[in-house]
Amino acid sequence: MMAHSMDDRDSPDKGFDSGKYVRYTPEQVEALERVYAECPKPSSLRRQQLIRECPILCNIEPRQIKVWFQNRRCREKQRKESARLQTVNRKLSAMNKLLMEENDRLQKQVSHLVYENGFMKHRIHTASGTTTDNSCESVVVSGQQHQQQNPNPQHLQRDANNPAGLLSIAEEALAEFLSKATGTAVDWVQMIGMKPGPDSIGIVAISRNCSGIAARACGLVSLEPMKVAEILKDRPSWFRDCRCVETLNVIPTGSGGTIELVNTQIYAPTTLAAARDFWTLRYSTSLEDGSYVVCERSLTSATGGPNGPLSSSFVRAKMLSSGFLIRPCDGGGSIIHIVDHVDLDVSSVPEVLRPLYESSKILAQKMTVAALRHVRQVAQETSGEVQYSGGRQPAVLRTFSQRLCRGFNDAVNGFADDGWSPMSSDGAEDITIMINSSSAKFAGSQYGSSFLPSFGSGVLCAKASMLLQNVPPLVLIRFLREHRAEWADYGVDAYSAASLRANPFAVPCVRTGGFPSNQVILPLAQTLEHEEFLEVVRLGGHAYSPEDMGLSRDMYLLQLCSGVDENVVGGCAQLVFAPIDESFADDAPLLPSGFRVIPLEQKVNPNDHQSTNRTRDLASSLDGSTKTDSETNSRLVLTIAFQFTFDNHSRDNVATMARHYVRNVVGSIQRVALAITPRPGSMQLPTSPEALTLVRWITRSYSAHTGADLFGTDSQSCGGDTLLKQLWNHSDAILCCSLKTNASPVFTFANQAGLDMLETTLVALQDIMLDKTLDDSGRKALCSEFAKIMQQGYANLPAGICVSSMGRPVSYEQATVWKVVDDNESNHCLAFILVNWSFV
């Protein structure tokens, strides 16, 4: 029987074997609680020691004290579970309230659409015989579009340069924002994969058929409203593409709110278009129901108001009424509504890139969802629910991520006011070289207080953007992260690492194939939904000649990989890294380089032949193809930027090295892209004559040795293409490895399931050795059966564990190994089939 609550100062306990109650005095309970605080589960020796040290417990049997601690642990567990259930219940109640409000909004939207549909039918019927300009298209417009096309005449009369005029604009912006956040001013469509729940990001929707692009999100966070507002107003802390937010004027209002005139600069995501900026009025105030709201809209000639600063490096974009509404939640926490509505002015953007500036999905992922995720991340860290390794505070690790992104964005954009200037080209315009010798630049937070070494005088950046077709963005970024040796040059990495040391390093000659090295990825931190993670990469090299001795030391990179969540729709992915030294101080200088991949939602106008040809030519220059737009399923923009230090004597040599290196990286990515690009209808199916021949040998040898058919049907009567498709799409992992006695066997071929199991691609498969994949028991089982395999042709192996190329354990229920012979009955390779494999 459980004891009464510990709050009862005379606490009774009943022994499980004695059948009698023991009533403890307050002094006894206090002594036991002190021990429990130090050790909730004391050993028998510790309990006996407790009786000896506390005379007030001398009349209690050791077994009774054991029962007391058991009951105390049960009560503690019950309290924790009760608190957890109460928290979940509060979340569910708040989410239910949110869903009911969303349902009411949708019902209003349906009613509005039904009315609008009836009105359109009536207009069509009554105006079918007229020629006046009263068509349904010109009459039936949403309230928001009507306001945009027919501005309030009061705008022309009021003086928006004084506080009263600005307050009038602010109140209009507030009303428009609230109609978008909780009303039907915008036709919202919920994003796929964004399902509400107590632990979900929230409800996320994007606009349909409205001016500009818009996104909306609402969710729950365990922070108070004013703390949430403080976080969200600090836009550079959560919006990675925000360069700066400058508040030029602050005007208090009579209701306790504030009006701010704000200039916001946004980085360009690629090297192919200019950056954007906004000149806005931001209004912060409290509502009558206790909610807190911050809304924002652009000041234009139509709205009136003072003119904002202009910069030749930026294109002025327009922010329609946007912001966030924060409502206190019963039991603590807040409900947040976020709306982002912008017009990015695509007129100056190359047509092939316009989908990037016209996508509400990309806006949702980069701004709206990013804001909500950041607030939830801070809330989890504040409550102590997030624990990171390495002893560093979460805020410090977040700062590292921000500095990496900011440094990479600075390199991609190369603003003149940061000190960047272009360097003369070598004749080809595929790679852009820019240099920066501004001492003020390197005092910035992302570089550290003393970035340049004593021999250095500046930073050089080599960058390029390209269009790829039919390449899965996540697969590309993962490959670049996991198989660095396929594209990187170890000598160039060593030169970058040398910028952290006081002694100069010779400019390396870029080599084909790089330098023998290996990488070990050490995780540091990841966000709640694992869409971004920070890690340290250790690069180890091996010198094979005296001139390479300087390269043989280990190097370290701080690396940020983001956008790799498979459930994200429309977001970008990037891999950014910077060399660090072994000390890895909190203020370590960072010079980021990396890759950014952004998918495009292609909108092709069949009458726009110029756009079609431009798109095809750009893609053809990358992969040598001549595909038409009708053959293209998807496109993405890949942006590359690498930064290097230089001194006055080595600038030209570093520029030559950087240009050649980036071109080599581009060539490597082209080869990788071709390997991982799914062929239409074949799921990356290799179709070379060699592949067809190998599959025929694999299936024929299996049937000859085992007397069974590999696919359960008469595969020998099938054609080569059919056999290849059956093997490629087989649910079990089928792999081939070399059969050599003088070298470690390496994998030479695998079907799609085998590649998924090894977490690799056909390009990198040949770098994986068999003995590194099998565990000890698997290697022993294979060795014991090897003679049987060579004599009888096959053997069955028991269930076991193997390891993927990323170090993840994989279990399988059974394995069959057989000898593959060619047309001359000569041994060609070993084939494996791992049945019912899964990641452990």
Q: Are strands 532-541 and 555-562 parallel, antiparallel or unpaired?
A: antiparallel
In the chain, pLDDT over 70 holds for what percent of residues?
76
The predicted model gives 474-483 an average pLDDT of: 87
d(CA 626, CA 640): 24
Residue 530: left if φ>0, alpha if ψ -120 to 50, beta else—which one?
left
Q: Is 228 exposed, middle or buried (0-12, 13-18, 19+ CB in 10 A)?
A: buried
Q: What is the largest CA-CA distance in the chain?
A: 106
Euclidean distance between the first and the last CA atom of the chain, given in angstroms as a whole number: 40
Closest by alpha carbon to 278, among 320, 336, 236? 320
| DSSP line for 275-304 | EEEEEEEEEEEE-TTS-EEEEEEE--TTT-
Residue 1 confidence (pLDDT)? 38
Per the DSSP assignment, residues forming a β-bridge with 526 are 533
How, if at all, do strands 314-316 and 275-286 pair?
Answer: parallel
Task: Give CA angle at 29 (28, 31), nearest 5°.
Answer: 65
pLDDT at 650: 84
| Helix/strand/coil (H/E/C) assignment for every residue in 114-162 | HHHHHHHHHHHHHCCCCCCCCCHHHHCCCHHHHHHHCCCHHHHCCCCCC
Angle, helices 369-382 vs 225-233, to 10°: value is 130
Average pLDDT, the chain: 79
Mean per-residue pLDDT for 305-312? 89
The whole-number pLDDT of residue 584 equals 83
Cα–Cα distance for residue pair 342/364, rounded to 1 Å: 11
Among 12-21, 29-38, 277-286, 493-502, the range with the most confident prediction by mean pLDDT is 277-286
- Which of the four pLDDT bands, split at 50, 70 and 90, describes residue 681? very low
Of 127 and 449, the one with more pLDDT: 127
Cα 195 from Cα 159, distance rounded (Å): 46
Pick from 413, 839, 802, 442: nearest CA to 641: 413
Length of the chain: 840
CA-CA distance, 716 to 699, in Å (whole number)?
A: 8
492 confidence band (pLDDT: 50, 70, 90): confident
Output the pLDDT for position 390. Answer: 60
Task: Give one DSSP letter per residue of 61-77, joined into a string.
Answer: -HHHHHHHHHHHHHHHH
**Mean pLDDT on 607-621:** 36
Structure tokens at 288: 């009558």
Residue 624 backbone phi and psi in degrees, to 5: 75, 10
- CA-based nearest residue to 163, from 247, 258, 286: 258
Pairing of strands 314-316, 292-298: unpaired
> In which element (H, E) is residue 220 found?
strand 213-221
Does residue 8 carry a pLDDT above 50? no
Paired tokens of 206: 């994007």
Question: What is the pLDDT confidence band of residue 430, given thresholds at 50, 70 and 90?
Answer: confident
Q: Are 56 and 27 in contact (CB under 8 A)?
A: yes
pLDDT digits (tens, 9 = 90+) for 645-664: 988 788 889 999 999 999 99
Choose between 118 and 467: higher pLDDT. Answer: 467
Q: Note the pLDDT of residue 194.
A: 52
CA-to-CA separations, 804 to 143, 517, 754, 759, 775, in angstroms, rounded: 56, 19, 10, 6, 11
Average pLDDT over residues 749-772: 84
Backbone angles phi, psi at 285, to 5 degrees: -160, 165
Q: How buried is 117 (Cβ within 10 angstroms: 0-12 exposed, 13-18 middle, 19+ buried)?
A: exposed
485 vs 461, which has greater pLDDT?
A: 461
Amino acid at 126: T
- Taking residues 415-435, report their average pLDDT: 84
pLDDT (tens digit per residue) in 156-206: 445 566 788 899 999 999 999 999 998 888 888 887 655 554 455 678 899
What is the C-alpha to C-alpha distance for residues 563 and 771, in angstroms, rounded to an integer? 33
Closest CA to 180 of 366, 375, 360, 341: 341
Model confidence, pTM? 0.66
Grade residue 595 by pLDDT with cuts at 50, 70 and 90: very high
Contact 717, 818 (CB under 8 A): no
Identify the CA nearest to 589 among candidates 459, 456, 444, 488: 444
- Please give the Cα distance from 556 to 500 (Å, whole number): 11
pLDDT bin (cut points 50, 70, 90) of residue 620 is very low
Tell me the CA distances in angstroms from 444 to 28, 437, 450, 628, one per residue in order: 61, 13, 10, 46
241 falls in which pLDDT band (50, 70, 90)? very high
- Angstrom distance (rounded) from CA 673 to CA 622: 10
Which letter, b or e, does each residue of 293-308 get, where b requires 16 or more Cβ atoms within 10 Å of its Cβ?
A: bbbbbbbbeebbbeeb
For residues 751 and 772, give the distance between their C-alpha atoms in angstroms, rounded to a whole number. Answer: 19
Helix (H/G/I), strand (E/B), else coil: 42: coil
| pLDDT tier for residue 16 given thresholds of 50, 70 and 90 | very low
Give yes or no for a contact between 800 and 781, defined as CB atoms under 8 angstroms apart. Answer: yes
* 3-state SS assignment for residue 461: strand
- Token look-up 């550079």 returns 236
Assign 337 a pLDDT band (cuts: 50, 70, 90).
Answer: very high
Q: Name the residue type at position 237.
A: S
User: pLDDT class for 352, splitting at 50, 70, 90?
Assistant: confident
How crowded is residue 135: how many other Cβ atoms within 10 Å of its Cβ?
13
Torsion (CA) 82, 84, 88, 91 in degrees, nearest 10: 110
Q: Residue 441 has what pLDDT?
A: 58
Which amino acid, 127?
A: A
How far apart CA 315 and CA 301 sit, in angstroms, is 16
Over residues 248-268, the pLDDT tens digits come to 999 998 888 999 999 999 999
Sign of CA dihedral 794, 795, 796, 800: negative
299-341-363 Cα angle (round to 5): 130
CA dist list (Å): 650 to 328, 457, 558: 60, 10, 26
CB 304 within 8 A of CB 165: yes
Q: pLDDT tens for residues 374-395?
A: 998 898 888 776 666 566 788 8
Across 330-353, average pLDDT: 89
Comparing CA positions, the residue from 52, 66, 58, 57 lying closest to residue 30 is 57
Measured between alpha carbons, how far is residue 596 from residues 467, 495, 799 in Å? 12, 23, 41
**Per-residue model confidence (pLDDT) at position 59:** 79
